Amino acid sequence: MERNMGGWAIAVHGGAGVDPNLPQQRQEEAKQVLSRCLNLGIDALRSNLSAVDVVELVVRELETDPVFNSGRGSALTAKGTVEMESSIMDGSGRRCGAVSGLTTVKNPVSLARLVMERSPHSYLAFAGAEDFARQQGVEVVDNEYFITEENVGMLKLAKEANTIMFDYRIPAAGGLETCSAVVESPILMNGLPISVYAPETVGCVVVDSQGRCAAATSTGGLMNKMSGRIGDSPLIGAGTYACNICGVSCTGEGEAIIRGTLAREVAAVMEYKGLGLQEAVDFVIKERLDEGKAGLIAVSNKGEVAWGFNTTGMFRGCATEDGFMEIGIWD
């Protein structure tokens, strides 16, 4: 899918990897959040906010809503704690900031932006990042704030299946088919297997009406991840990238995205092979990504918006200045 209308363009994602049997109610709930956040971004673009301001604003909103896997609602580590990570990149001047291992910062994407703008570095993690947050006076809360009942149940399921989860998978009657181990009796919540509540990473890419591109990604990482694990989302070039040509945000299995340096590859094939935005997205997914692992959203400086994934689905929304708007999950 590609639109090329000039002017501004925006795309958001709420994670890749969706069970085809995801209940309608859950699909609608996710779409409503995406639509609300997309509209927030559209209003900001109409008010002439810059691309980097808009991606921060939209990702903050997604972090605050517990439906997706970032900020409140973050996936849990094997210890049952939350370790969040985020990155932001402003394509104008290729400035970037990233954070990992956050346990108390309410909006990780805003701390990533402060790393970009107020520190001499581009990436801070764990205790040092938390110290920087306090120094900068950003809002902090107890780790419990981020932990939802659904995710506690989901972690239990992941532990029983002895797996690390990155997507929505509903355990079938006989077990959790898609995991390496089988769950004999799925844990139910409101009559539904608990994995239908599994959360997903968020991201936003924007080109503003002046052709400036920006990208931001935020996540709690993978459910049941080892404490200390760092995924693709805070890694510039892997989960997030922006330059004067395009902005890209990825989602899916971080280890596969890191191996493929997915976000940067999209920009590289546009730059060095002269591919268009959608061609570049399709090429990178086909050539650089293991099957069934991830997806991404992208915008170009020409006002194009594109997305692609090789998982069963990807929660996403996009809009362009001419009035086009789409919210979707499936292909």
**Residues forming the active site:** 201
The strand pair at 95-102 and 123-125 is best described as parallel
DSSP3 helix / strand / coil % (the chain, rounded to 5): 35, 25, 40
100 touches ligand ASP (CB under 6 A)? no
Residue with the shortest CB distance to ligand ASP: 254
Nearest approach in angstroms of CB 221 to ligand ASP is 4
# residues contacting ligand ASP (CB under 6 A)? 16
Nearest approach in angstroms of CB 23 to ligand ASP is 20
Q: Contact with ligand ASP (CB under 6 A): which of 9, 10, 15, 158? A: 15
9 membership: H or E segment, kind and range = strand 9-16
Q: Which long-range contacts (CB under 8 A, 24 or more apart) does 182-188 make?
A: 183/157, 186/157, 187/153, 187/156, 187/157
Q: Distance (Å, rounded) from C-alpha 85 to C-alpha 236?
A: 12
Q: Which stretch binds ligand ASP (CB under 6 A): 43-51, 55-63, 111-119, 253-261?
A: 253-261
Nearest approach in angstroms of CB 226 to ligand ASP is 12
19 touches ligand ASP (CB under 6 A)? no
Q: Which is nearer to ligand ASP, 110 or 219 (CB)?
A: 219
Q: Which is nearer to ligand ASP, 44 or 297 (CB)?
A: 297
DSSP class of residue 175 equals B
74 touches ligand ASP (CB under 6 A)? no
List all residues 6 or more positions away from 57 whose beta carbon is below 8 Å from its beta carbon: 40, 41, 44, 49
Q: Which residues bind ligand ASP (CB under 6 A)?
A: 15, 69, 166, 200-201, 219, 221-222, 231-233, 251-254, 257
